[in-house]
Amino acid sequence: MRERPEDFKGRSVDIDGQAERRAALRSTLIIRTAKIRLDSGEYVCVLRDISDTGVRLRLFHPLPASKTICLEMPDGDCFDIEPVWTEGNCAGFRFLKPIDVKAIISSHKDHPKRGLRVNLSHDAYIVHLGHTIRVRLVNLSQQGACIICDEFLAMDERIDLYFDYLSEIKCTVRWRKEPHYGVCFGRTLAFAELATIVAAINHDEALHHPQADSNR
C-alpha cells in the first residue's frame, strides 16, 4: 500500500490516473544507478522509471527527513525533487521544474557507464607497514575510495582499509595529492552493500555531528 509523506498531504500527483499515458515514455528508460542528495548527505539509488513530471526510485533504506532533495545523475546533472509516495523499497518523487526526458535518456546512452562516487566524511583506519593509522574517508564507490592520511603512502603501495560497517579490505594506492589518496579495492562492493554502508555512515554522522548535518 502506498504511503504519502505527511508534509505533502493535499498535494498529491495523479500518478494512477496518468499511468497509462506515461507508461510508453517510462518503458524507454534503461534502469540506471543515481544519487540523491539530502540534508544528511548523499545516498545511492536506482532510477526505475521517469516521466516529464516525476520519477520512481529504488531505495535501500528508509527515506530520511530532509528540507531539500536533489537527484543527481551519473553525468552530474542534478534535479530538485520532492517526495510524493513510498511503497516498500520504492518511492515516487515530483520534479520541481520541468525536465527533458529525452535528453536524460540520450545522455545515458551517449555517456559510458561510470561508477558512482559518494561524498561523505567518516573516520577509518589503514594498516600500513604493520602500523594502524587513523584516516578520514571522504568518498566511496564500489571499486575504491578517497582517504585523507597524514602519513606518506607510495604509489601502488598495498594497504588494508577498514571502518565501521566495512570489515578489512585490501587496497592499492592508485593516486595521491597529499594528504588525499585514492585507493582501489581488492574486490568490488555489491551495489546494495555500498548503499547500506553509505546510509549507515550518514545516519551515524548525523547522530554524532548534528550541527555539521544542519550546515550541509
**Residues 124, 80 within the same domain:** no
Which residue has better confidence, 137 or 100? 137
Residue 6 has a pLDDT of 46
Phi, psi for 196 (deg, rounded to 5): -65, -40
- CB-CB neighbours of 48 under 10 Å: 16
- The residues, any chain, with a CB within 8 Å of residue 53's CB and separated by 6 or more, are 13, 94, 95, 98
Q: Which helix (H) or strand (E) covers residue 83, if one does?
A: strand 78-87
Q: Is 135 contained in some domain?
A: yes
Q: How many domains does the chain have?
A: 2
For range 113-135, the mean pLDDT: 91
Which domain covers residue 23, as residue numbers? 6-110
Q: What is the pLDDT of residues 144-165, one digit of tens each?
A: 999 999 999 999 999 999 998 9
Alpha-carbon gap, residue 22 to 186, rounded angstroms: 43
- Residue ending a domain, among 85, 110, 135, is 110
Alpha-carbon gap, residue 155 to 169, rounded angstroms: 18
Q: What is the pLDDT of residues 68-98, one digit of tens each?
A: 999 998 888 999 999 999 999 999 999 999 8
Q: Is 214 contained in some domain?
A: no
Task: State pTM to two decimals.
Answer: 0.79
Q: What angle do CA 65, 69, 70 make, to 5 degrees?
A: 155
Alpha-carbon gap, residue 11 to 65, rounded angstroms: 18
For the domain that residue 161 is a member of, what is the CATH number? 2.40.10.220
Residue 74 has a pLDDT of 83
- Residue ending a domain, among 110, 133, 156, is 110
Residue with cell 578520514: 136
Which residue has better confidence, 72 or 14? 72
**Residues 150, 182 within the same domain:** yes
- Residue ending a domain, among 110, 132, 166, is 110
Bridge pairing between strands 166-177 and 158-163: antiparallel
Q: What is the pLDDT of residues 22-73, one digit of tens each?
A: 443 444 456 789 999 999 999 999 999 888 889 999 999 999 889 999 999 8
